[in-house]
Amino acid sequence: MTKTLIFFRHGKSDWEASFDRDRDRPLAERGISAAKAMGKLLAAMDKVPDFALTSPALRAKTTLELAIKAGGWACPTAIAEDLYEAEVDQVLEVIQQQSDDYASLMLVGHEPTWSATIAALMGGGTLRVPTAALAALEFEVSTWSQVAVGGGTLLWLLPAKLFTQAKLL
């Protein structure tokens, strides 16, 4: 049995916008377009998650909402406070607490956490998750509580820029 974990980094944020706290920073126009494109891509690939958890940051929540709407797909969603300014061990704990009813789980969040977490779950290496990128890992486990450092296999890492610049979506 396998579990699939999809990491979705929030779209490009708007540093020029007015916001009081970092978690209130909105998406830039480029981030909005990329979030929509990646939502369509997930639908086209038939890789819509069974459940999605997002960081409480506005840019992450908006990325997920736009992807779902643009892709025309639905899945239950929730906000996970522990995904904001998280360390790898915090992300792993969030993953391990999920319902085993879900075969695929999406986490929407931030850098440098996503790159560090993916590398740790693969057992090492270096990678960079650009804005609005999607990355999927597969685990040969039957429960989310069995997901561990070094146990994942990278299935794909898809930078939004590849699809938006080529106007494929």
pLDDT tens by residue, 64-113? 999 999 999 999 999 999 999 999 999 999 999 999 999 999 999 999 99
Q: How far apart are CA 55 and CA 61, in angstroms?
A: 7
Q: Which of 82, 55, 52 is nearest to 67 (CA)?
A: 52
Q: What is the pLDDT of residue 126?
A: 94
Alpha-carbon distances of 32 from 14, 27, 160, rounded to whole Å? 10, 6, 11
CB atoms within 10 A of CB 55: 25
- Residues whose CB falls within 8 Å of the CB of residue 1, separated by 6 or more in sequence, listed in order: 140, 141, 142
What's the domain range around 64? 3-74+81-165
The confidence band for 158, taking pLDDT boundaries of 50, 70 and 90, is very high
Please tell me the total count of domains within the chain.
1
Query: Any idea what the CATH number is for the domain that residue 128 is in?
Result: 3.40.50.1240
Q: Average of pLDDT values for 130-146? A: 98
